Structure 1
Amino acid sequence: MKRLVFSSGDLPDELDDRTRFNRWREIFAWRYGSADFTRLADQPFKARSEFLQISSLGLVRSESTVQRFRRTAQQAVDGSGAYLIAFNNGMSSTTVKQQGREQVYAPQQMWLGCTADTIDVGNKTGTKWVTLIVPATPLLQLVPRAEDMVAKPIDATRPAVRHLRRYMEFLLTADEFGDDNGLSGRLDAMLMDLVALSLGANMDVAEIAEGRGLRAARTREIVGRIQEGFSNPTFSAHVVGRILGLSARYVQELVQETGLGFTARVLELRLLKARAMLADPVHDRLKISDLAFTCGFNEVSYFNRCFRRRFGASPTEFRHSTRTEI
């Protein structure tokens, strides 16, 4: 899965602002279909989008000084007929008009759109969206009444909405990854499950999605919390559970499914941080006991044992060996 970037900054430097905007519109129409744009009058034109193809889905992060995006009925004929799951990532409200409805979405709110219909989207400070492009057929199989939800408020209190947004942002910020063992297909299925839950799928579909998409998203969130908090000596599964509203046992169960349990994962991260600090001359004046505590260990003797078992030398010996090599 490769990331494709479309940016006005890649156009020739010698273009003036007006010409840059017109050239960008031409390329946009060639790539994504024709549309009408209104730019912010008081700012230089800028537009950047990142696109990630995940099996049948498309994931896009876009930001621009475009104030209004509009597609007429004639222009919509060229569209793919897909649905758009979009989050307003800007600092001001976005107004969406589609299918005779008009709805205002505050920052971080989610909305559903359709590329097969006329659409009018406006934001007084420019666009900043994260959007998931979903083919119509699989979405309607999961949520048959999805068309009735276009340009209507979506309940942001649903856990699936929060997980869907965070997972979309995670995929866009993660390093490029291959498609070993059908990873793209599994991500596709998980995202579709979260979309179905976010849109209020019927009970049968929701039960299936709960066991796949939401579980996988929770696991990803727990792993992220571990990476953020492992160096705190009081960090534990109970701490993560309180933050996410889950039991410590369930937190441990989900992490175990990744192939490395909670305790083992935390210990490995602490040891890797300790090794990096010991190898860095910047920390030479830091006592081993202080370094151990900084990395999350309460007892220096336990830290010494774990470090020797993992790297074949005591922390002091390891630090000395890296200086000898220099």
Structure 2
Amino acid sequence: MNATTSFRLMTDAFPEQDRVEVMRQVYGRTVLKVDLDPLAPTHVDMKVRALPGLGIATGTSSEFRAHHSMPLIDSDDLLLLAALDGASVMKHRGREEPIGNGRALMMSGEEVGLNLIQPGGMRFVNMSFSLRQLSPLIGDPASVLMQPSPTTSGAMRLLLDYVQSIQDADDALTPETWQLAATHIFDLAALAMGATAEIARGRGVRVARLRAIKADILAHGGHDELSADDIAARHHLCARYVRKLFESEGTSLSDFMLRQRLVRAHRMLVDPSHAGRSITAIAFDAGFNDLSYFNRAFRRRYDATPSDVRAAALKN
């Protein structure tokens, strides 16, 4: 598997007779590893992403029944199913739990289960986690299985909002940023599953939030247009709290955003595919509207001018 694999699945793009099989092969094998039986004409529009140890699917679906059948059981899977709108019934380990309209729950991937999406369909966020990677963050995963939790508050909301945000960013993120995002998702999932204030050897709520905000900034290139108020609103925080998160690391939001813009500019200057572009164009693409300011900030950061960095890269 590549570092990150993604695609959009729209069943309307396929002949009706092929839609169920497409769903089985794509959604039913990539994310949840289930068999699917449609209960009505199949209509699905979802974004699917596979990362090492993590599968994500977000979108909408018509009603169907998903069976976690014996041939597809994976003892290393832990599944999160969240109904943002619509309703579903989960059957697992002899228990039945509805997760309609703003509820989520976890299921183990090592036993047979059933997910029944009710008439009217559902808007959802579904994820599969590697149990080996998640267990060190939460201790005993069994304690959180089949325990419905609201999607509109607390750590679960933070997790789902973050996943939706990076799904929207899509291919604007580099593979390196996706790897970082996967770490954030594991942290936030652990918090949503009831981990204590410290997770993953000291990563806590504040750290998880700061990492989520940083990834959000990276996804948008660190542009000046992204204000503290914008970031705070997207993460359901106040701007003052966002600033304090960065201050806790001995920096500031503006310094972090400037650093990301400079890193982006440096990357383009040393990339041969950008050799024909002017430094002014590169500065603009990196989020700088003032060339003089860009030159000063770049020299302070790299102790060299943009022209020097480009010339050195071309010699190599």
- Regarding TM over 0.5, the answer is yes
| TM superposition shift of 1:251 | 5.6
For residues 30 and 137 of structure 1, do their structure 2 counterparts lie closer, same or farther at Cα, with a shift above 3 Å needed? closer
> Are 1:192 and 2:186 an aligned pair?
yes
Aligned match of 2:166 in 144, 166, 171? 171
> Are 1:244 and 2:240 an aligned pair?
no
| TM superposition shift of 1:190 | 1.6
Aligned match of 1:140 in 135, 138, 143? 135
Note the alpha carbon deviations across 1:191-233, whole angstroms, 9 max, x for none: 1111111111145427723153232124567899xx9x969xx
Q: Distance in 2 between matches of 1:96 and 1:247?
A: 37
Deviates more, 1:2-11 or 1:246-255: 246-255
* Aligned counterpart, 1:161: 156
Residues matched between the structures, number:
256
The answer as to whether partners of 1:8 and 1:48 remain within 8 angstroms in 2 is yes
Q: Distance in 1 between matches of 2:39 and 2:98?
A: 20
* Aligned counterpart, 1:118: 112
Q: Which consecutive unaligned segments of at least 5 residues does structure 1 have?
A: 266-305, 312-326
Match of 2:46, as an amino acid?
A: S
3-state SS, counterpart of residue 244 of structure 1: coil
| TM superposition shift of 1:30 | 8.2
Q: Distance in 2 between matches of 1:132 and 1:114?
A: 12
* Aligned counterpart, 2:78: 83
Note the alpha carbon deviations across 1:88-111, whole angstroms, 9 max, x for none: 13x322221111222222323221
Q: CA RMSD in A?
A: 4.2
Aligned match of 1:8 in 11, 14, 19? 11
Say which one has the larger Rg: 1
* Aligned counterpart, 1:95: 89
| TM superposition shift of 1:9 | 3.1
For residues 117 and 101 of structure 1, do their structure 2 counterparts lie closer, same or farther at Cα, with a shift above 3 Å needed? same
The answer as to whether partners of 2:184 and 2:208 remain within 8 angstroms in 1 is yes
Match of 1:178, as an amino acid?
A: T
The answer as to whether partners of 1:50 and 1:61 remain within 8 angstroms in 2 is yes
3-state SS, counterpart of residue 126 of structure 1: strand
* Aligned counterpart, 1:105: 99
3-state SS, counterpart of residue 148 of structure 2: coil
Match of 2:61, as an amino acid?
A: S
Greater strand percent: which structure? 2
Q: Which consecutive unaligned segments of at least 5 residues does structure 2 have?
A: 260-288, 295-316
The answer as to whether partners of 1:154 and 1:199 remain within 8 angstroms in 2 is no
The answer as to whether partners of 1:94 and 1:106 remain within 8 angstroms in 2 is yes
* Aligned counterpart, 2:47: 50
For residues 99 and 145 of structure 1, do their structure 2 counterparts lie closer, same or farther at Cα, with a shift above 3 Å needed? same
3-state SS, counterpart of residue 52 of structure 1: strand
| TM superposition shift of 1:134 | 0.4
Match of 1:24, as an amino acid?
A: V
| TM superposition shift of 1:308 | 9.7
3-state SS, counterpart of residue 102 of structure 1: strand
Summarize the alignment of residues 14-33 of structure 1 with structure 2, pairs less than 5 Å apart: 15=15, 17=16, 19-24=17-22, 27=25, 31=29, 33=33
For residues 142 and 93 of structure 1, do their structure 2 counterparts lie closer, same or farther at Cα, with a shift above 3 Å needed? same
The answer as to whether partners of 1:83 and 1:112 remain within 8 angstroms in 2 is yes
Match of 2:127, as an amino acid?
A: L
Structure 1 vs Structure 2: percent identity of aligned residues? 15
The answer as to whether partners of 2:57 and 2:125 remain within 8 angstroms in 1 is yes
Q: Distance in 1 between matches of 2:105 and 2:132?
A: 19
The answer as to whether partners of 1:99 and 1:117 remain within 8 angstroms in 2 is yes
Q: Distance in 1 between matches of 2:70 and 2:106?
A: 16
Q: Distance in 1 between matches of 2:242 and 2:10?
A: 45
| TM superposition shift of 1:158 | 5.6
The answer as to whether partners of 1:54 and 1:187 remain within 8 angstroms in 2 is no
Match of 2:78, as an amino acid?
A: Y
The answer as to whether partners of 1:52 and 1:59 remain within 8 angstroms in 2 is yes
